[in-house]
Amino acid sequence: METTWKLARVFAVLFLMSSIQPASAADVVVNIDTPMPPPAWAVMQRDLLRENLDACREFFGKYFDERGYLMCVERWGGDDGPDDAIENCNDWPILHALGASDEILKMYKHAWEGHLRQFTEAKTVEVPFARDGMYYKEFPVTMDWVHNGEGLTVFDLQGLGDPNDNAFRKRVRRYAGFYLNEDPGAQNYDPRHKIIRSLFNGSRGPLMRKATGLDWAGDPIEVKGRFKPRHGEDTYEQMLEHFQDYNDIVGDHPQNMGATSLALNAYMLTHEPKYKEWLLEYVDAWRERTLRNDGIIPTNIGLNGKIGGETDGKWYGGVYGWGFSVRNPADGQLAHRNTHGLGITGFGNALLLTGDQKYVDVWRDMIKAINAQVKTINGKKMYPRMYGDDGWYNYGPSPYAQGAQEIYYWSMLPEDRERLGGNAWLNYLEGKDPTYPIRALQADFAAIRRKVEGMRNDDTTPDTRLSDDPMPFNPCSVNSLVSQMLGGIHPGHRGAPLHCRLRYFDPIKRRAGVPDSVAALVEKLSADQTTVTLINTSQSQPREVVVQGGAYGEHQCESIVIDGVATDINAPSFTVRLAPGSGTKLIINMQRYANQPTMLFPWDQASLN
């Protein structure tokens, strides 16, 4: 009798589509009317969405004009350049996709449109390749993927909440085309050797010569008494000196795998095979090179396709390579600038497309290979970070763990969890830290307060402001919401996609994000199961929410269990109807990476998979 009552109270499973069609969000509807007083975390989540929006609105009003232009001195360069300008809106697409008002979408889209116009109009005088505009065809003319990835972070995540925007759809295809050699003026890729031909690449193609300090630093500029460069330089001469050794850029580097996010977006939007085929061809080539190089990803691939081919055979050579240690002119200290870690974006993108754990294995094995070089120094175990002519160097007390969080999140293997030690979020998911959700939310509230205070005290003017000056005051703070609501890991600011276990959609307003008054807390993750509590904090209005497996529908929801009662789903998503003031805990059994990822919203996915 009890089981029958629970079934009647909790579930109303409606099959609304023909049985010959694939399952979609409309197929399974779960009704919840179990009363649940709003817990503190739920109220705080809703408040945090609102507080973020209010703070971002003030930030936008202070630093952007009516055209969407950032009010600053436009410059080209690795210190402060076009990428930094739009980074001032970092995380705004995620905030909208979580459920914040469409106002945040309108603001960052206005900033993006203004950004493209602003830096197409902005021209260099002395830097040769940007004299006709820092952007060409609405894309950086030629720059490295440290900066390209940062500058594309906002654009790359727009598809989470606004995939049907016509301008976005056109740009997704055009940008990917720069790397599929579809543009005659941007032949960045060598299909024979499966390389991107230079560290500098973009809409005007690769830079096929040694770079100069001018290429990196940009045109001469007054510094002391006017600007405060974030790298600490007092003069333009120091800015040039900062980049004086940034010369060996010809050939491929792991950071170029950031370009695969463009192909991933194009595939998730169109599902044209060419984008998937190119991405996997390129990432597979990097995987094979890593395996040939004793498990360590090389940082230079020559134009002949050979490891170290442009750096005298040194696999560790080149700008941003394993051996790239340079003197910082601002403080005279040696700086170790090895950016191979950006390559993990490419392996994660390949995993999204295939579900093949070989892309996870290659990075895990590299972590093991590097830590196998441990030395005992002064009685302590020390681990390297760099490799040069004399072997491994730059030893420290902590094991090398770059990408370790992603590896565990993608694999869910216990051995990968061990590398992360006392991670507060993972401890919570394992039942060891019940106070984590409140603390994490409080930290984001504090971050907003601190950044708004800094913004209000900022006395720079547009003619004394560089493009990266407002960045510390960007108040958008979503880390706690990504982990708690989505069961995800923050994608960083490198143009990577969002990796998460769940996403939510409002089927009434036909938009991404939780509906008004709905909150969600992911309480447990395993390789094949996700536990989440959903609640409607409104005591007077019902709510309807679509729950999707993964950011892009890549995870298949096989069944859900509520109060011990299971119901089959067998779809990427399902709908939950929440009565006023109701909530419940759902255990979702799922098969991860079972579906082809898509930007389509759940109600548009019936033709996929």
Which residue, 482, 477, 469, is CA-closest to 449?
A: 477
347 close to 285: Cβ distance less than 8 angstroms: no
- What is the CB neighbour count within 10 angstroms for residue 53? 20
Residue 450: CB partners within 8 Å, gap ≥ 6? none
- What is the CB neighbour count within 10 angstroms for residue 520? 26
**Domain co-membership, 197 together with 300:** yes
- What is the CB neighbour count within 10 angstroms for residue 133? 17
**Domain co-membership, 408 together with 516:** no
Task: Check which CATH number belongs to the domain holding 19 and give it.
Answer: 2.60.40.1180
Is the predicted pLDDT of residue 47 greater than 90, yes or no?
yes
**Domain co-membership, 358 together with 266:** yes
Q: Would you call 242 helix, strand, or coil by DSSP?
A: helix
Note whether residue 216 is domain-resident: no
Is the predicted pLDDT of residue 237 greater than 60, yes or no?
yes
Residue 139 phi, psi dihedral angles, 5° rounding:
-150, 150
**Domain co-membership, 523 together with 396:** no
Average pLDDT over residues 556-564: 97
Q: State the angle between helix axes of 479-486 and 436-457 in degrees (0 to 180), rounded to the nearest 10.
A: 150
Q: Among the three residues 420, 441, 475, which one is the final residue of a domain in this structure?
A: 420
Note whether residue 232 is domain-resident: no
247 close to 210: Cβ distance less than 8 angstroms: yes
Query: For the chain, what is the domain count?
Result: 2
Beta strands in 87-151 (DSSP E): 135-136, 139-140
Residue 182: CB partners within 8 Å, gap ≥ 6? none
- What is the CB neighbour count within 10 angstroms for residue 398? 11
Note whether residue 125 is domain-resident: no
Residue 524 phi, psi dihedral angles, 5° rounding:
-160, 140
**Domain co-membership, 414 together with 508:** no
Distance from C-alpha of 499 to C-alpha of 488, rounded to nearest angstrom: 6
How far, CA to CA in Å, does 468 sit from each of 85, 88, 140, 150, 582? 6, 7, 17, 12, 45
Distance from C-alpha of 120 to C-alpha of 445, rounded to nearest angstrom: 36
Note whether residue 465 is domain-resident: no
**Domain co-membership, 397 together with 535:** no
Which residue, 254, 87, 244, is CA-closest to 156?
A: 87
Note whether residue 82 is domain-resident: no
Is the predicted pLDDT of residue 229 greater than 90, yes or no?
no
Average pLDDT over residues 229-233: 83
Q: Would you call 366 helix, strand, or coil by DSSP?
A: helix
Share of the chain above pLDDT 70, in %: 95
Q: How many helices (H) and strands (E) does the chain have?
A: 19, 20
Q: What is the pLDDT of residues 185-205, one digit of tens each?
A: 999 999 999 999 999 999 999
Average pLDDT over residues 53-60: 98
**Domain co-membership, 353 together with 206:** yes
Average pLDDT over residues 505-513: 98
Average pLDDT over residues 23-36: 81
Residue 404 phi, psi dihedral angles, 5° rounding:
-65, -35
Is the predicted pLDDT of residue 1 greater than 70, yes or no?
no
Res 228: pLDDT: 85
Question: What is the DSSP track for 292-307?
Answer: HTTT---S-B-TTS-B
Residue 6: band (very low, low, confident or very high) from pLDDT cuts 50, 70, 90:
very low
Res 608: pLDDT: 60
Note whether residue 444 is domain-resident: no
Residue 256, domain extent: 167-211+246-420
Share of the chain above pLDDT 90, in %: 92
Res 200: pLDDT: 98
Average pLDDT over residues 270-283: 98
Average pLDDT over residues 326-331: 89
Q: Say which residue the tokens 């973020």 belong to.
A: 52
Res 8: pLDDT: 38
Res 230: pLDDT: 79
Question: What's CA 45's distance to the chain center, in Å?
Answer: 21
The least confident of 19-23, 107-111, 212-216, 399-403 is 19-23
Q: Would you call 474 helix, strand, or coil by DSSP?
A: coil
Note whether residue 337 is domain-resident: yes
**Domain co-membership, 330 together with 191:** yes
Distance from C-alpha of 464 to C-alpha of 228, rounded to nearest angstrom: 9
Tokens in use for 301?
């691939």
Q: Among the three residues 356, 390, 420, which one is the final residue of a domain in this structure?
A: 420
* Average model confidence (pLDDT) across the chain: 94
Res 22: pLDDT: 37
Eight-class DSSP state of 586: E
Q: Among the three residues 420, 441, 466, which one is the final residue of a domain in this structure?
A: 420
Res 232: pLDDT: 84
Average pLDDT over residues 319-344: 95
Q: Say which residue the tokens 């995993």 belong to.
A: 351
Tokens in use for 577?
């109807």
Res 16: pLDDT: 30
More confident residue, 231 or 221: 221
Helix or strand (DSSP H, E) at 588: strand 583-591
**Domain co-membership, 254 together with 403:** yes
Q: Would you call 168 helix, strand, or coil by DSSP?
A: helix
More confident residue, 5 or 423: 423
Distance from C-alpha of 190 to C-alpha of 176, rounded to nearest angstrom: 15
**Domain co-membership, 510 together with 395:** no
**Domain co-membership, 404 together with 525:** no
Is the predicted pLDDT of residue 277 greater than 80, yes or no?
yes
Note whether residue 344 is domain-resident: yes
Eight-class DSSP state of 515: P
Q: Terminal CA-to-CA distance of the chain, rounded, Å?
A: 39
Q: Would you call 26 helix, strand, or coil by DSSP?
A: coil
**Domain co-membership, 269 together with 397:** yes
